[in-house]
Structure formats: C-alpha cells, structure tokens
Amino acid sequence: MRWASMLVDDLGEPLPQRMPTDRPPRVVSLVPSLTEAIAVTLPEVLVGVTDYCTHPPDLGLPRVGGSKYPSVDEVLALRPDLVVANSEENRAEDVDRLRANGVAVWVTAAPASVPAALGSVHRLLTAALDAPAPHWLVQAQQVWQHVRPVRARAVVPVWRRPWVVLGRDTFAGDVLRRLGVANAYADHPERYPRPPLAELVAKLDSGAADLVVLPDEPYAFSAEDGPEAFPHARHVLLSGRHLTWYGPSLVAARDELASALDRVLA
C-alpha cells in the first residue's frame, strides 16, 4: 500500500509518501465515529483508540486517553503509520506534535452535512487506507438522500452548565433537517452558540421553536436531566450516537431517530 504524492487530508495537509507494503498499516484513531468506521471496514489495521471509542462493543485495543486530551506519548509508543484525527474533536497542538515526531496524521474536517460527512469518510477509507468503498457506506448514502418537509422547529442542546446548542452548519443539524426538524439556531453565526436558558425558554414560549431535542451525548441528557428545564415544551430524547456519529451506525440511524421523533410529533 502506498500513498500518492499529492494525497492530502480534509484540511489540505499532504501525507508523506510512505505506507507499509509488507503488512497492514498500524492506525490509531482519535475519533470515536471514525474508529467504528475503520473497525467495521478494516479491523486488522487499528492498533489504538480513545477511551470514548465504544463501538464496535468488542473493541479490545489499547486506549490512549480522551479525544480532546489523548496521551501523545502513548500514541507514539504504538508506532502508528497513521493517526486519524478531526479538526473539531482533537487539538491542533497534539496533531502538530505527532507530525513533529514523524507520524502521518489524517485530519478530517468537521462536517456541515450528512453528504459532507460521508464524503469525508469515503476519502479516509478509500484514499488514505486504500480500501474499496464498504457496503455500509453505500447504504448510508442511499438511506439519507431523502429530505422530509419541515414539521417542527427545535432547540437542540448538546451541553448544559453552560447551555450549548446546535448552531449553523452542523452534521447533527442536517440529520434532523433530513428528518423534518429544523434547527431554531441554524442561522446563528456560531456552530455551537451558548445562549442563556432564559433565551431558550423564550424561543419556545414565543413559538419560534416548538420542540426540544435532547441527545444522550456529548452531554448525557435523560428523562431526569434536561426536560425539567423546559417544562412547557415538547421534548424528545435521542441517541447521541445515532445523531452525531458518521459511520456504520448511520445505516440504522434514520429509522431509529425517525421513530423517536414520530412518537412525539405525530
């Protein structure tokens, strides 16, 4: 396996022209959804993952810490040929240190839509890792083509203390839009604005939004933690993995998310 001389990652950074030809490449993934994508497609190449890489459930590999604060020394100790990172989930200083130590790093961009996410994963698997496009990726592209008419406008918190919501150009926002749920903060200048709770409640009380979507990651919203902040609004609890991961889970995610939304919006 070799890299073409002009092969670049999502951010336009070139990769050195060296990959092993006598064995599978050694890959460390610092992005949970990409860990799942690689593990399902090329399980033999992964040699290290983060503490938050929970899928596939039987992933028995060395852990190198969290996505935001991995142990670079532990990554280097695994002697990877390639480290997979993301511009939003991982720190630039960690990527720079890995590259300074001679490790190739493929950085994916934070996707603004489902097609952008799937296109990024396609490039990672087929260009960087020289794999054929997997069946699950083709299925996911087909499943998510259709966009339903808007049937609700939602506030979508992803954190509290402080409150953080989905803003413009996010993958999760596009997932919801394709299921007929518009984002009340889609026109905000920030991708993840931090409005005060009073502002969120006012949007719901005024009719500017009529639904609260509460995923269970990155913040673990639950029936006991989240809905009580919006006592007069409809809410729906969703799987954060199905809402925010762009990997094999996308094949089942549409039906799972649509079923949960339908129960509330019917």
- Residues 238, 151 share a domain: yes
- Residues 192, 99 share a domain: no
Tell me, yes or no, whether 90 lies in a domain.
Answer: yes
Distance of alpha carbon 65 from alpha carbon 50, whole angstroms? 5
Residue-wise pLDDT tens digits, 210-266: 999 999 999 999 999 999 999 999 999 999 999 999 999 999 999 999 999 999 998
- Residues 258, 173 share a domain: yes
Distance of alpha carbon 46 from alpha carbon 199, whole angstroms? 44
- Residues 186, 100 share a domain: no
Q: What's the confidence (pLDDT) of residue 15?
A: 86
pTM: 0.93
Distance of alpha carbon 191 from alpha carbon 167, whole angstroms? 4
Distance of alpha carbon 99 from alpha carbon 23, whole angstroms? 22
What confidence category does residue 111 fall into, taking pLDDT thresholds of 50, 70 and 90? very high
Tell me, yes or no, whether 254 lies in a domain.
Answer: yes
Tell me, yes or no, whether 121 lies in a domain.
Answer: no
- Residues 223, 157 share a domain: yes
Is a pLDDT exceeding 70 seen at residue 2? Answer: no
Q: What's the confidence (pLDDT) of residue 261?
A: 98
**Residue at a domain's end among 93, 112, 131:** 112
Tell me, yes or no, whether 51 lies in a domain.
Answer: yes
Q: What's the confidence (pLDDT) of residue 266?
A: 83
Residue-wise pLDDT tens digits, 17-50: 667 777 889 999 999 999 999 999 999 999 999 9
Is a pLDDT exceeding 90 seen at residue 6? Answer: no
Q: What is the mean pLDDT of the chain?
A: 94
Residue-wise pLDDT tens digits, 144-172: 999 999 999 999 999 999 999 999 999 99
Residue-number span of the structural domain to which 225 is assigned:
146-265
**Residue at a domain's end among 112, 131, 165:** 112
For residue 176, the domain's CATH number is 3.40.50.1980
Residue 88 CB: number of other CB atoms within 10 A? 15
Q: Is 227 exposed, middle or buried (0-12, 13-18, 19+ CB in 10 A)?
A: middle
- Residues 153, 250 share a domain: yes
Tell me, yes or no, whether 82 lies in a domain.
Answer: yes
- Residues 200, 108 share a domain: no
User: Which tokens go with 67?
Assistant: 């996505």
Tell me, yes or no, whether 218 lies in a domain.
Answer: yes
Contact 236, 260 (CB under 8 A): yes
User: Which tokens go with 202?
Assistant: 């006012």
- Residues 168, 71 share a domain: no
Is a pLDDT exceeding 90 seen at residue 4? Answer: no
Distance of alpha carbon 89 from alpha carbon 107, whole angstroms? 10
- Residues 212, 108 share a domain: no
The DSSP string of 91-156 is: -HHHHHHHHHTT-EEEEEP--SSHHHHHHHHHHIIIIIS-PPPPHHHHHHHHHT---PPP-EEEE-
User: Alpha helix (H) ranges present in 147-193?
Assistant: 171-178
**Residue at a domain's end among 112, 137, 170:** 112
- Residues 253, 162 share a domain: yes
Number of domains comprising the chain? 2
Tell me, yes or no, whether 99 lies in a domain.
Answer: yes
Residue 111 — left, alpha, or beta (φ > 0 → left; ψ -120 to 50 → alpha)?
beta
Q: 120-129 burial by CB neighbour count: b if 16+ within 10 A, else e?
A: bbbbbbebbb
Tell me, yes or no, whether 127 lies in a domain.
Answer: no
Considering only the C-alpha atoms of the chain, give the largest distance between any 2 of them, rounded to a whole number of Å.
Answer: 64
Distance of alpha carbon 175 from alpha carbon 195, whole angstroms? 22
Distance of alpha carbon 239 from alpha carbon 173, whole angstroms? 14
User: Which tokens go with 82?
Assistant: 């390639």
- Residues 187, 85 share a domain: no
The DSSP string of 218-262 is: SS--BTTBSGGGSTTS-EEEE-HHHHH--STTHHHHHHHHHHHHH
Secondary structure class of 83 (helix, strand, coil): strand
- Residues 165, 68 share a domain: no
